Structure 1
Amino acid sequence: MAAAVAGTALPSSAARAGDAPGAPGTDPGYAGADKLGFGTSRDAQSPVWFTLGRGGAADLYYPNLSTPASRQLQVVVTDGAGFVQRLSDVPTRTEPVDPKTPSYRQVSTGQGWEATATYVTDPARPSVVVDLQVRSLDGKPLQTYVLHEPTLTKDGSDDRSRTEGATLVASDRSAASALRATPAFTETSSGYLGASDGWTDLSRHKRLTAHHPEAGAGHVGQVGRLPVDGVGTSHAVLTLGYGKHASEAVATAEETERTGFEAAARAYGEGWHRYADSLTPPDALTDEHQKNVYWSSTAMLAASEDKQNPGAFIASPSMPWAFRNDPEMAPESGPYHLVWPRDLYQHATALLSAGDRAAAERALDYLWSVQQPDGHLPQNTETSGEPFWTKVQLDQTAFPIVLAWQLGRTDQATMDGVRKAAEFIVGFEHEGHPAPYTEQERWENHSGYSPGTIASTIAGLVCAADLLERSGDHETAQRYLAVADEWAAKVDGWTATANGPHSPQPYYLRLTKDGNPNQGTTYNPGDNYPEDVDQRTQVDPSFLELVRLGVKRPDDPVVVNSLRVVDEVLGEQTPAGQHWHRFTSDGYGEREDGADWNIGHGRTYGRLWPLFAGERGEYELMAGQPGMAAERLRSMAATANEGLLLPEQVWDNRAPAADGEPAPGTPNRSATPLAWTHAQYVRLVTSMAAGAPVETPSVVADRYTR
């Protein structure tokens, strides 16, 4: 056993301590979804990603973006007797190193101390590298520790931890991690979470009293003491390497350690700056903050692509609310770090507009690779392509066709995919209703006739027809156009009510359950809403897809009246500008007191979605109102957090505020960053430069609105 701890200054009792007590440990779930940083290198040989919480790395992914491999990596500072504080316990500010590079500096200020941690990954291998400075503010010596909680293979219940020399090693059946420090740890311990882990020991005793050499299998935590007292010694570098097995992880960490933080950070930054230089700069923007959010958005979108599965861009590297800690709701750590065809379409169109055509091509190739035998696209998939949830959403089958048209793709694989997708759309039937009735609309929890979904299917069929005409299949193209024309003529009759409570003039509904918008059909909107609602009361902004995709003119009377209704029913003014709720009666958000969303645990309230400001801005460009579009961009940029990341939602004017916090218009605890929000921001920037929405397929607009 002595050989196993060579290079560490462990007490002799460690060799006799044996396995730590308290097996198997408690499962604390994952960190909150409101991330302040998200980073990875541009290099495929480094399949590791980090996110930052409010004081340290939280949720690290390896070897792909569907697999969280660590819960947290953070620092603890104590005086050994009077106080003990994690970085997440004290005020911390997050600063992007520069907007074009997803590298961040976090500065934490505690009781007589200040710590600065800078995060990158090693472009040459799967290691996260942290440059750490700890400074005593009152001249008194400190003790500094590092905590790491592995969740290898996204299942923390079977991890094993041990000390090998100067390295803290964790492993399970198919992956491993190795945590090292320069200068090396002087004390280490492995324990079971909630019983014998390092934080449990430190929080009780203000210093490390147990030095268990190993723990597992179970929910384990690792701790290492740094020879950093903030007075004589203030600097250390942490390296967390991953591998398929322990020896590979250790070798990875050692190689990165030899490279050094400065060299790794320099290569990391150079890779991202080369990427930024290949993109279209936002020269039309004069506001520096808006420019910074643009560059942060392009980096976030690019970083969201899996390195083992090119073209697989995830929705968000986060697990909001119950998705982080309820195994019944999310037995595999949640759906946001999956690939959703709808979100991937947003990714691809944004990056295409920014100048990264290759990313859009990879996205389309991935979509065809996961297309199901009957032609539809899965609701979502693991980055490997394995379907996860299985509901049919017709817009997710239509959007790949539109993307294929935008890319001008007529290769055989694409045309096969287009035909299969279009045939599925025209032949689909659910609950006795033929298409464009969908099993789920874009908010994922209801079937019916949705104006947004219908817009996407019309656009998909028209784009499919144009691609087929180019390949000489005139007969099939005409059949698709006939269906698209029929649906375009009927969309108002299916989805626009003339006798609803919000206006005496027709307006679009969120959806109808029966294709009769003047009928008071009731349904429960879901997400903990306590009663059924009349479908005529339910509106959402999704009807703008009809305009943006070229099916309706921006001055269409029903569109214009629907905007007035949506503004009245769903819009709110905040310090970050005007933003909108998702739909009437939306419950996808926190409880009234700010507690987490979950199903069946009390009423919850959906908040405001910044992406709607971007959609409205695209509409206003089409309506000849570029000044209003610029205002929408300002509103979106105003919701960015200090790490320049854009959220899924921001607090509304019913925020559970105390002393003004949280303020309306600031990010809540929804998924942050959300790729869809970043994609919408990028696309609005490029659309403003072009003078019109870059996403609109001209072949659809030429047919219906020009």
Structure 2
Amino acid sequence: MAAQSWPAAAKDLVMTALGTSRVWATLAHGIINEVYWPAVDQPQVRDFGFLVAGAGWWRELKRVDSYTLSTPDPTIQLPTISHHGDGDGYQVTLRPVVDPDRDTLLIAYTVTGTGVRLYPLLAPHLSIYRPASEDEWPAFGADNVAWLDPADNTMFASSRTRCVCVSASPPFSRGSAGFVSDTDGWTDFSRNQAMTWTYSLAGPGVVALMGELTESSGLLAVGFGETPAQARAVGQASLAAGFDAVAARFSSGWQTWASGLTLPGTAQGLSPVVTDAIRQSAAVLKTHEDHAVPGAFVASLATPWGEDTNDPAGYHMVWCRDGAECGLALAAAGRTDDAVNLLAYLASKQQADGHWPRCFFVDGSFDPNAAVQLDEVAFPVLLAARLEEYGVALPTSIDDMIRKAAIYLAQNGPISGVDLWEENSGGSPFTIALEIVAMVAAATCLGGLDQQYALALADNWNERLEEFTYVAGSQLDRYFGTDGHYVRIGPSADQIRVGNQPASVEPIAAEAQVGMEFLYLPRLGLRDPADKRITDTLVVVDRMIRRDTPSGSTYYRYNTDGYGEWLDGSGWPRRRFGTRFGIGRPWPLLAGELGHYEAIRGGDPATQLTAMLAMRGRGGLLPEQIWDGNSLPWRHLEPGKPAGSAMPLAWAQSELIKLAITIATGRPVEMLQSVLARYGRTAPTSDRWFWRDAAPVRDLPPGRTLVIEDPRPFTLHFGFDEWNAVSERNAEQLGLGMFGVSLGSADLASHASVQFVRRYVDGQWEPASRHDVALHVTRAPALRLSAAELGRVTAAGGRARRAGHRPTG
């Protein structure tokens, strides 16, 4: 029996109606791909394709791949798909539309050609999708039952409370239900060159349905319900309403929504091509929102390399980062109402301690084993602050959301458990920058100690940002003639285990791996775009991870990336050696990140904008990755064009909108006035330096107060200059649930170093036997161990370096 899987992830178009309908449809290769129901994260149809046949021949339209696609307006994704079989003399036109009032996908069809008949072929993938271990994946959609109504050949499939019905007007002349790769309609044509089977029932298993249409035009309805009767009823109602009425309602809903857009246009110097592209992108973002749960935006209506996996989640889950990117873009585009809904939804899914899961289904269910990303804790705070700058009234729940997020960041930052690419822990310039901005933004709705501490912590992390993420004088710098560069993950003492590579691949030094994360420092207003550390890093990344393609230049996520197709174009999920691996491909959204930098430094961002537009797919959608190898037409891979990971990617569509707005206004959407006012694109001089396990202070500059902090109350046992003048001091509340002991100028003035260890209120000593801080150091701080490396040292009690000090008795 065939294994269940998903279709290719590179879509031509995504569509939904703005009404009570709970259906989303995707198109690729000229046919319907996944159809989602009853939520935006629940795909129920693998694909709905078409065979066309005449006397002695047959073709599958998606394999012929000779079609055109058009829509009436960039914001109205109401496609007309025209398939041409020049050698066979046929033309098939398909016009799908989601019924705004019913859970139905309606498709008008016309067929021309002598003796030509059309055969719709439905592959159901009915299930209730949820977080699951990988050994559970094969079962999803593999227990479906398919059958025909003998009265009119209406086709059905079901799995528990998930039912689909395909009805036709005029009715199907005959139909067949079968097991995929055994008794299904495609296998019938493959073996017999015609439809010869008319099985009435198949399943449970991986099944498919096929019907024969003898008329040259008509309507198809794909209806969904919790019972077969419900699925049939909504489909019949849509057929009775007729295509023209349904399409008019569909168009009216999108026209009303699009009338609220306030995007820049030709009057602001943008070309008509760019104007259409960003309007389409805004509609694509809106399409990724759930209908029953407003504000729940998924990352993509696709499963990366779906033909090679049966992953029940794919990218049709909610990520705080991707969702906030959508919210920022939609707010900047004038749809602040959608951004507020998004923010309110995220607030409702925040965990009690203030963080969000890495990703989650619309109902909030998630994998509890996934590591927390601190950028995803910071992004909702940034979105809230930007909406307030627009003068938008926010729900009363948002202040509580911000406070809880600030507490989590204060207690767990600045080193993230996993970076934005979900692969490595450490100090990411992208993540730490967002944490700093979130703390500054959060301070506006905090008071007292909480506000003072949030700002002091943000100032110190900002001043020390290079300590966590920058290296000077490395082998790379000597080679490229630069003074130093920002790393992808710091500190540089780390050896990074590269994700998406075979388990046998050795770790590499953090200083040897670079990415584009550092560009968020000027984009957020924390560093000047002309800062030599920024410009030097650009030299390094241009030499190491830039890729020039026929569509323009963009970048890999980082050198040694393995998340992408293999040399032969086969998908990432196919290879596994300890872990899945491939070859990372360039990302169009990274061209957008460079475009933002060019805009704020007064350069030429149009080159990057043009590149992003050229990297779009046939329907104008932006992919996650583009292909950078030789042409592989049998895999639909062409240099500079979409690869097979996922298209559209909501994050990339958001980046296009924001880049166009930044070009028109000169200011990135993410740049907050409060941050600019506080830092003015330069690192501050912070009065207090905060020592914590994840970010220890080893060298304290002159005139600063040293604060040893911890989420738990403790007593500090400390001494100076190798444990002289030993004393103890109880920690006091700092704010945001943190406790600390401050050693100021009067404590430190006459000493060269301080040693300390913590004892908690239960009488237990911390694992480390001592910590050391050098005082009054004027040299630039060195990069230090990450939380992971530090944990290994402290677990050993530091005894390999020096003897510890604890009082006895």
User: Normalising by structure 2, what TM-score?
Assistant: 0.78
Structure 2 unaligned blocks of 5 or more: 130-139, 682-809
Of 456, 462, 470, the residue aligned with 2:434 is: 456
Q: Distance in 2 between matches of 1:218 and 1:396?
A: 39
Deviation at residue 613 of structure 1 after TM alignment:
1.6
Residue 249 of structure 1 corresponds to 231
Task: Say if 2:320 is the partner of 1:347.
Answer: no
Asked if the contact 2:23/2:103 (under 8 Å) is kept, the reply is yes
Residue 425 of structure 2 corresponds to 447
Match of 1:623, as an amino acid? R
CA distance 1:641–1:96, shift in 2 (3 Å): farther
Of 467, 470, 491, the residue aligned with 1:493 is: 467
Deviation at residue 281 of structure 1 after TM alignment:
3.7
Q: Distance in 1 between matches of 2:464 and 2:234?
A: 60
Residue 287 of structure 2 corresponds to 303
Q: String of CA shifts for 1:650-675, please: whole Å, max 9, x gaps.
A: 122x3455799843211111210000
Match of 1:274, as an amino acid? T
Deviation at residue 335 of structure 1 after TM alignment:
3.0
Match of 1:555, as an amino acid? A
Q: Distance in 2 between matches of 1:217 and 1:95?
A: 38
Q: Distance in 2 between matches of 1:286 and 1:679?
A: 17
Match of 2:371, as an amino acid? K
Of 604, 613, 617, the residue aligned with 1:641 is: 617
Asked if the contact 1:592/1:605 (under 8 Å) is kept, the reply is yes
Task: Say if 2:401 is the partner of 1:426.
Answer: no
Residue 19 of structure 1 corresponds to none
Residue 466 of structure 1 corresponds to 444
Deviation at residue 474 of structure 1 after TM alignment:
3.0
**3-state SS, counterpart of residue 84 of structure 2:** strand
Residue 511 of structure 1 corresponds to 489
Identity of aligned residues (%): 33
Residue 201 of structure 1 corresponds to 188
Asked if the contact 2:382/2:670 (under 8 Å) is kept, the reply is no
CA distance 1:144–1:659, shift in 2 (3 Å): closer
Deviation at residue 406 of structure 1 after TM alignment:
1.4
Asked if the contact 1:158/1:218 (under 8 Å) is kept, the reply is yes
Q: Distance in 2 between matches of 1:28 and 1:91?
A: 27
Asked if the contact 2:484/2:536 (under 8 Å) is kept, the reply is yes
Task: Say if 2:108 is the partner of 1:131.
Answer: yes
Structure 1 unaligned blocks of 5 or more: 1-24, 229-233, 429-434
CA distance 1:656–1:593, shift in 2 (3 Å): farther
Q: Distance in 2 between matches of 1:271 and 1:603?
A: 43
Match of 1:400, as an amino acid? P
CA distance 1:661–1:365, shift in 2 (3 Å): closer
* 277-286 vs 616-625, which moves further: 277-286
Residue 526 of structure 1 corresponds to 499
Of 352, 363, 369, the residue aligned with 1:373 is: 352
Deviation at residue 127 of structure 1 after TM alignment:
0.8
Asked if the contact 1:84/1:203 (under 8 Å) is kept, the reply is no
Q: Distance in 1 between matches of 2:55 and 2:209?
A: 19
Task: Say if 2:455 is the partner of 1:481.
Answer: yes
Of 362, 373, 383, the residue aligned with 1:383 is: 362
**3-state SS, counterpart of residue 529 of structure 2:** coil
Asked if the contact 2:382/2:441 (under 8 Å) is kept, the reply is yes
Deviation at residue 246 of structure 1 after TM alignment:
0.9
CA distance 1:417–1:214, shift in 2 (3 Å): same
Q: Distance in 2 between matches of 1:540 and 1:364?
A: 29
Deviation at residue 105 of structure 1 after TM alignment:
2.0
CA distance 1:151–1:611, shift in 2 (3 Å): same
Match of 1:558, as an amino acid? R
Asked if the contact 2:45/2:125 (under 8 Å) is kept, the reply is yes
* 674-683 vs 146-155, which moves further: 146-155
CA distance 1:487–1:326, shift in 2 (3 Å): same
Q: String of CA shifts for 1:432-476, please: whole Å, max 9, x gaps.
A: xxx2111111011110111111001001111001222xxxx1321
Deviation at residue 324 of structure 1 after TM alignment:
4.9
Deviation at residue 269 of structure 1 after TM alignment:
1.3
Task: Say if 2:156 is the partner of 1:169.
Answer: yes
Q: Distance in 2 between matches of 1:689 and 1:396?
A: 28
Higher relative contact order (CA 8 A, sep 6+): 1
Map 1:533-548 → 2, pairs under 5 A: 533-548=508-523
Asked if the contact 2:23/2:35 (under 8 Å) is kept, the reply is yes
Residue 69 of structure 1 corresponds to 44
Map 1:117-196 → 2, pairs under 5 A: 117-136=94-113, 140-153=114-127, 155-164=140-149, 165-166=151-152, 167-196=154-183
Of 270, 294, 302, the residue aligned with 1:318 is: 302
Task: Say if 2:234 is the partner of 1:217.
Answer: no
Asked if the contact 1:95/1:642 (under 8 Å) is kept, the reply is no
Map 1:252-267 → 2, pairs under 5 A: 252-267=234-249
Deviation at residue 689 of structure 1 after TM alignment:
2.0
Task: Say if 2:533 is the partner of 1:553.
Answer: no
Q: String of CA shifts for 1:205-254, please: whole Å, max 9, x gaps.
A: 122212112222221111110013xxxxx212111111111111111000
Asked if the contact 1:592/1:656 (under 8 Å) is kept, the reply is no
Asked if the contact 1:581/1:609 (under 8 Å) is kept, the reply is yes
Deviation at residue 313 of structure 1 after TM alignment:
0.3
**3-state SS, counterpart of residue 427 of structure 2:** coil
Residue 255 of structure 2 corresponds to 273
CA distance 1:421–1:505, shift in 2 (3 Å): same
What's the Cα RMSD here? 1.9
Residue 342 of structure 2 corresponds to 363
Q: Distance in 1 between matches of 2:158 and 2:102?
A: 18
Q: String of CA shifts for 1:363-422, please: whole Å, max 9, x gaps.
A: 111111111111111100101121236311000001111111112266542111111111
**Bigger-Rg structure (1/2):** 2
How many residue pairs are counted as aligned between the two chains? 650
Residue 694 of structure 1 corresponds to 669
CA distance 1:411–1:261, shift in 2 (3 Å): closer
Match of 1:31, as an amino acid? P
Q: Distance in 2 between matches of 1:346 and 1:241?
A: 33
Q: Distance in 1 between matches of 2:54 and 2:607?
A: 50
**3-state SS, counterpart of residue 152 of structure 1:** coil
Q: String of CA shifts for 1:152-175, please: whole Å, max 9, x gaps.
A: 225322222221233212122112
CA distance 1:419–1:324, shift in 2 (3 Å): farther
Q: Distance in 2 between matches of 1:32 and 1:661?
A: 10
**3-state SS, counterpart of residue 374 of structure 1:** coil
Q: String of CA shifts for 1:609-643, please: whole Å, max 9, x gaps.
A: 11112112222222122xx1222211111111121
CA distance 1:556–1:666, shift in 2 (3 Å): same
Q: String of CA shifts for 1:493-524, please: whole Å, max 9, x gaps.
A: 11111122332411100002xx3x2x4x4222
Deviation at residue 483 of structure 1 after TM alignment:
0.7
Asked if the contact 1:544/1:615 (under 8 Å) is kept, the reply is yes
CA distance 1:423–1:673, shift in 2 (3 Å): same
Q: Distance in 2 between matches of 1:634 and 1:374?
A: 43
Residue 21 of structure 1 corresponds to none
Task: Say if 2:90 is the partner of 1:113.
Answer: yes
Q: Distance in 1 between matches of 2:617 and 2:219?
A: 27
Q: Distance in 2 between matches of 1:336 and 1:467?
A: 34
Q: Distance in 2 between matches of 1:296 and 1:412?
A: 32
* 173-182 vs 351-360, which moves further: 173-182
Match of 2:122, as an amino acid? H
Residue 623 of structure 1 corresponds to 601
